[in-house]
Amino acid sequence: LVDEAEGEEEEEEEEGADGKTSGLKDDAILEVGTKGSASSSKASSDLKSALGIQSAPESSEEAAAAPSSSDQWRASFYASKKDLPMVGSTEGFEEISDEILENMVQNYIEGLVWVLRYYYHGVPSWSWFYGYHFAPLVVDIVRKLDTAAKITFTLDEPFTPLEQLMAVLPFGSRTLLPNGYQRAIEEGDDSIAAYFPQEFGFHLDEKNREWRNTPLIPFVDQALLKAFCAKHEKKLTPEEQKRNAFGPAYSYKYSADSTLPCPATLSAFQDIAKCHCEVTPYRPPAAPENKSLSFEPRLLPGANITVPAIPVGFPTLYALPCATRVDAIGVNIFGWNSRNDSLVLTPRSGVPASEEQFKACVSQLLGKPVLIWPFFEQGIVDTIVTKFGEFSLLPNGRVNNTYYSNEQLQKQRQLAPARWRSRYAVECTDPNLISLKLRVMKGMERTNSGKIAIRYEDTPSRSVPLQCVLHGKAQQVLASRDARYVPRDAPQASDTFKAGCPVVSLQPGNTFGLCGECIEVEDESVRVRLGNLGREPTFSVEIANDIRYKHTFQSVATCARMLKVGPLCLTRVAGSVTFRVPREGNGFRKTDLGLQLKYQGRKLRMWEYSKVDSAGKWLFSEKAVDLMREYRKRYPEVWEAVEADSRKALYSGEVLLGGGAGVDADDVEGNEEWRAKIRQRVEEIGDWLDSQPSASVPLIPSSIESLSQECISLIEEDAEALERKEKVTEKKINASNLFTPHGVSAHAQLQWAGGASSPASADAMELGDRVCYVMDKGPVCFGSRGSVVGLTPMHAHVVFDAVQLSGTTLGGKLRTLRGVEVPRSHLLNLSKAPQHTSGGGGSKKKGRGGGGKKKPANPFALLD
């Protein structure tokens, strides 16, 4: 219960960090039991011992006293559940007797055994189910745990597909069933009518989310269900009968030799011209004689459960010696400090004590790779913070020592330990504490020379205590890791490009961005077959530029001058402004009368009305300014109240009647006439706000850049009208001017070797740019072209020229399913293609400064 309450606190922020759990302490829940029951006392004692909870000793007089609050709570818990449908009653019981509770506990323990046997041996029973909508309390479960070893199951047979649908679908979803079943349900077939009520209630379960409540629908009687389906089976069509039968299982296996076409079985799918897949019927192994079919749980051949000398593979606590204890240190979980105990780890590795040892540590670590415990992320040490100052590495290789005041230095040193304590329950308390600032590995990149090198972050993003990194064994671990992450010399073209692998031309000029396949490799050149679609269209760039110049965003200060209000007042009204409004009768409620164009704390903005610039400042469009101007003209009292005190959290509803009414809080408190007038005014303002076009515009994360609806609609229309004929050509291209995604992981990034500012890099992408998807896996087909209509720091919203199988309407912005969100690093920017550069005006000159074409920088793969 405590864990459940803590999980809900994230969604129910209004409860605050001190949310209660039915007013009970942990110990109170564990002390429940029947008075005078030795087994109950023993069970409670065993459970407390297992959980490490100690209770104060009770005197004999206390034991003979009236039932404790925990006993009363136990009784009220079960009493609140008695109306729920259970096995043996479709409408619950008048009370949950000892016999009913006994059956429930036994059924729950059966469920635990069923799950364990399912995962370790196979399905123990197809017909078993838990026949209650709630679990019994733990103290009632532990009394019968010794029965677990005696539990047996009957295997039975699984439901047919339509029987399974009948068992789980309510009356409102009957249209998913065959027509024959639908009519029988609608006509109220007596044998099944009780299980398909048209109206039913909910058990609230003390939840404030409707979808969490328990619908009061009885559990289906399996015998009646099977009899009903058998009775109406003759009404099924031949296709439905086939759908309802058990069919063979098939094994699908990749085969490069298989190239047979695969026709689509549904209209939403496209035919696969060359399907590299072999399909064979799968027949499970025969069951041993006199035994049911199950599998034997065992370790796979080659599994190693010993602790390796070099900590590679799955992380374990053995990689770093730690002391452990159980303590309530307030570990932060989902934004709230846990009130429960946590397993606290304290690394045993020491830190240098003397200044000489500190200097030796700096020389051994600075600029060197380390592994961050416990998941062995690789990083490079950028800065070391010690009690003697902060040490960092300069570009020339020299060590820079920055001195702070003792207070500043202590704060810098405690940042990493404090975070590790609150987030991971790892304590580093050595007085000679050393913190490392690390640049974490992002992946592998191919340099201009073709070498494969590790790419680290440009700036430190991780602060880690020295005790939580592996540095002595780091090089051994790195050498033992996945070969993809080992730096290596430039590969030969024949190793990178294989016949039939997909390729993208990065050669400047007319072939840039053309997609195709490799034919053969000749030394450092590759003969490729490319699909030439002709000149790349520019409609999206033109539309984006046209709209960008027409619709501009203004700063808060500029908008405030236009409306003649204070900047803080404008930002408050543009966001959230809460008023205290009287209810009918007694009490008050809170109502938001802000325009909700932005939310600073939640980092949300209203599309087409507001956005955040690169400096984090809010900007508003002409449309937003017009809306604010009209709001101020119609209801000036809202603006006057906020202008008078722009930092107030809750405004009084009396101000909405206007300053001339002479109304104050005392007049409203006992005057229903004034209270009704305030409610009427608030309702009028709310109706006006709801009638504005902005009320239906979605809020999106402020980090997203997006074109307007007008822009996106125009781009979609042009994409639909686009007709491009592919002309296949063969060319010989230098291997350095080709990119292949073949063998690259799904998280690979297209990186321009010349740096992030290079023309075709993902970092230089802008709204309206034409792009090409260059990965051979993911939601989009290799070589698909489209237009960028939205950008996030890591992803791009693209309207592709063709409808995509995985496409969406991008939240209702499109009419067709051609919108897809893809990683920016999986796109080649066609709108910023590199151009040929030449020296000496294109003429060939001998000697120094001679002509010829200068070799441009090229995009290469980041093998993440």
> Rounded to an integer, what is the distance from CA 659 to the centroid of its chain?
49
Kindly tell me if the per-residue pLDDT of 588 is higher than 90.
Answer: no
Q: Ranked by mean pLDDT, which of 21-30, 136-145, 185-194, 553-562 comes out on top?
A: 553-562
Burial of 476 (0-12, 13-18, 19+ CB in 10 A): middle
Kindly tell me if the per-residue pLDDT of 583 is higher than 60.
Answer: yes
Angle at 442 between CA 436 and CA 445, to 5 degrees: 130
Phi/psi of residue 136, nearest 5 degrees: -70, 165
Greater model confidence, 468 or 838: 468
Where is 239: in which H helix or E strand?
helix 238-243
Distance CA 184, CA 741 (A): 55
Kindly tell me if the per-residue pLDDT of 64 is higher than 90.
Answer: no
pLDDT at 53: 42
| Cβ(32)–Cβ(70) below 8 Å | yes
Q: What is the pLDDT of residues 529-574, one digit of tens each?
A: 998 888 888 888 888 887 766 668 899 999 999 999 999 999 999 9
* DSSP 8-state secondary structure symbol assigned to residue 91: T
Residue with tokens 């692998």: 501
Q: What is the pLDDT of residues 380-422, one digit of tens each?
A: 999 998 887 888 888 888 888 887 777 777 777 778 888 889 9
Which residues, listed in sequence order, are joined to residue 371 by a DSSP beta bridge? 378, 470
Percentage with pLDDT > 70 across the chain: 78
Q: What is the pLDDT of residues 252-308, one digit of tens each?
A: 999 888 888 888 887 777 788 888 899 899 887 766 665 555 667 778 887 777 766
| 770 — pLDDT class (breaks 50, 70, 90) | very high
| 594 — pLDDT class (breaks 50, 70, 90) | very high
Give the count of beta carbons closer than 10 Å to the beta carbon of residue 362.
Answer: 20
Kindly tell me if the per-residue pLDDT of 74 is higher than 50.
Answer: yes
Dig out the tokens for 708 from the structure.
């307007």
User: What torsion, rounded to 10 degrees, do the Cα atoms 803, 806, 811, 814 define?
Assistant: 0
Q: What is the pLDDT of residues 707-724, one digit of tens each?
A: 888 889 999 999 998 888
pLDDT at 32: 31
Q: What is the pLDDT of residues 159-184, one digit of tens each?
A: 999 999 999 888 888 889 998 888 88
Kindly tell me if the per-residue pLDDT of 853 is higher than 60.
Answer: no
pLDDT at 756: 34
- Residues 6 or more apart from 683 whose CB is under 8 A from it? none
Q: What is the pLDDT of residues 458-473, one digit of tens each?
A: 889 899 998 888 876 6
| Cβ(731)–Cβ(528) below 8 Å | yes
pLDDT at 5: 33
Dig out the tokens for 38 from the structure.
């030795």
Dig out the tokens for 796 from the structure.
């791009």
Where is 478: in which H helix or E strand?
helix 474-480
Strand pairing category for 651-652 and 578-582 = parallel
> Rounded to an integer, what is the distance from CA 134 to the centroid of its chain?
29
Mean pLDDT of the region 841-858: 38
pLDDT at 602: 83
pLDDT at 669: 61
Mean pLDDT of the region 809-836: 87
Dig out the tokens for 313 from the structure.
């593979």
Greater model confidence, 41 or 699: 699
Q: What is the pLDDT of residues 75-126, one digit of tens each?
A: 888 888 877 777 766 666 667 788 888 888 999 999 999 999 888 888 889 9
pLDDT at 490: 76
Kindly tell me if the per-residue pLDDT of 726 is higher than 60.
Answer: yes
Burial of 565 (0-12, 13-18, 19+ CB in 10 A): buried
Where is 862: in which H helix or E strand?
strand 859-862
Distance CA 485, CA 757 (A): 25
Kindly tell me if the per-residue pLDDT of 195 is higher than 80.
Answer: yes
Distance CA 192, CA 90 (A): 12
pLDDT at 747: 35
Kindly tell me if the per-residue pLDDT of 309 is higher than 70.
Answer: no
| 447 — pLDDT class (breaks 50, 70, 90) | confident
Where is 361: in which H helix or E strand?
helix 355-365
| 691 — pLDDT class (breaks 50, 70, 90) | very high
Kindly tell me if the per-residue pLDDT of 40 is higher than 70.
Answer: no
Q: What is the pLDDT of residues 2-11, one digit of tens each?
A: 333 333 333 3
Dig out the tokens for 110 from the structure.
């059966």
pLDDT at 66: 54
pLDDT at 311: 62
pLDDT at 202: 80
Closest CA to 106 of 136, 139, 63, 69: 136
| 784 — pLDDT class (breaks 50, 70, 90) | very high
Phi/psi of residue 860, nearest 5 degrees: -130, 180
Percentage with pLDDT > 90 across the chain: 22
- Residues 6 or more apart from 345 whose CB is under 8 A from it? 317, 322, 323, 324, 424, 425, 426, 427
